[in-house]
Amino acid sequence: MNLEKLSMKKASSTEKRKIKILDNFNIKIICFGLAVALYSFVSYIQSVEKAFPCELKVIGLNDSFVISNDIPSNVKITVKNKSNIIDKITENDFNLRLDLSDIDSPNEYQLKLLYDVPKAMHTFSNSNIFSSIMLDPEKVTVVVENLVEKNVPIILDYYGEVEKGYTVRKRTSDSYYVRAQGPERIINEVKFIKTEKINLEGETETFKRSVNLVAGNPLIKLIGKTKIDVTFEIVKLIESIRLSFTDVSVHNLKNNLKTKIEDINVTVQVSGARDDILKLNKENIILSVDFSKVNYPGEYSLRIDVGLPKNITLNQIKPEVIKVKVEQK
């Protein structure tokens, strides 16, 4: 009988405990939720941030296209997480990329950057709302153009003066054109490609030199040769030679006018390379007066023009101007 009473007493006590647990159950659930939130908040407070400078890879662009604007080569990825997780992450874990495989025509695009979540952040204990990955920037602007190429003339870019008493008689190179490749808009505007600068200062002898070609724009690629051989033929000038003339040609005189140039003595002083001067004779030099601006009879002072062979330099002419009389026919 006593055992029966004891058993009934224990059962009554268990029921009372169950009833007590269920008392204010909703309030207890709310308190549990607040406790979880508080735990998460504490975890958030204990989280740290770290920035990773990640290389941006461009993938998937069709070979017939080219990017014609500047895009960042590196992007900052900031991770917020527990320090023990962040310590396991490296820049390579993100596999940061700009995927252009869907682009099928030239245009300007705003594209989102793609990345992988590091494996260290895949753990269950790490799956909380306060774990974050932020990209700066998240999107980039990409200008895509057709990739074209064409032949472009080469210009020798030189500066400086050869030694006094010398002159550059001839400039040659082993190539006069180069093939340039790049965005269609840029290639269409390219008129020539220069060499690197060639210094002539103080030179007294002919020289041959290998020089780089300069595209002038990082988006232009030179196909084939990127260097050429150039030759500058430098010769010594001799002292000036003087020649006297008594004939001057009349040019561009109106049909209704006439003139006669008589009793004239013109002295011309020229210089050039020795072998060119030795070949020079008076028949190679033409003196003339241009009457194209003379419209009426009268007396005029007109300049004497001097026509010289190639590689011959005019130093002086006396007189430079002559007086002529123009009459009506």
Q: Is 273 helix (H, G, I), strand (E, B) or coil?
A: strand
- Return the pLDDT at 21: 52
pLDDT (tens digit, 9 = 90+) per residue, 179-209?
999 999 999 999 999 999 999 999 999 999 9
Read off the pLDDT of residues 276-303 as tens digits, 9 standing for 90 and up: 888 888 999 999 999 999 999 998 989 9
User: Do residues 253 and 231 lie in contact, with contact meaning Cβ atoms separated by under 8 Å?
Assistant: no
Residue 223 has pLDDT above 90, yes or no: yes
Q: How confident is the model at residue 327 (pLDDT cuts 50, 70, 90)?
A: very high
Give the model's confidence band at 16: pLDDT under 50 very low, under 70 low, under 90 confident, else very high: low
Share of the chain above pLDDT 70, in %: 84
Tell me: pLDDT of 79 over 90: yes
pLDDT at 310: 86
In angstroms, the CA 304 to CA 315 distance is 14
Is the distance from CB of 271 to CB of 306 less than 8 angstroms? no
Residue by residue, DSSP assigns 107-146 as: EEEEEE-B-PPPGGG-SGGG-STT-EEEEESSEEEEEEEE
Residue 84: the pLDDT is 83
Q: Nearest Cα to 314, choosing from 245, 243, 263?
A: 243
% pLDDT > 90, the chain: 64
The whole-chain average pLDDT of the chain stands at 86
d(CA 213, CA 221): 11
Q: How confident is the model at residue 20 (pLDDT cuts 50, 70, 90)?
A: low
Q: What is the pLDDT of residue 46?
A: 63
Q: Within 13 Å and on the Cβ side, how many CA atoms surround 272?
A: 19
Domains of the chain in start order, with CATH, are 47-137 (2.170.120.30), 146-236 (2.170.120.40), 241-328 (2.170.120.30)
Residue 22 is predicted with a pLDDT of 52
The pLDDT of residue 1 is 46
Q: What is the pLDDT of residue 303?
A: 92
Q: What pTM does this model have?
A: 0.55
Tokens of 34: 């607040």
| Identity of the residue numbered 248 | V
pLDDT at site 123: 66
How confident is the model over 6-21, as a mean pLDDT?
A: 52
What is the bridge-based pairing of β-strands 177-183 and 249-251?
Answer: unpaired
Which of the pair, 79 or 129, is modelled with greater confidence? 79
Answer whether residue 237 shows pLDDT above 90.
Answer: no
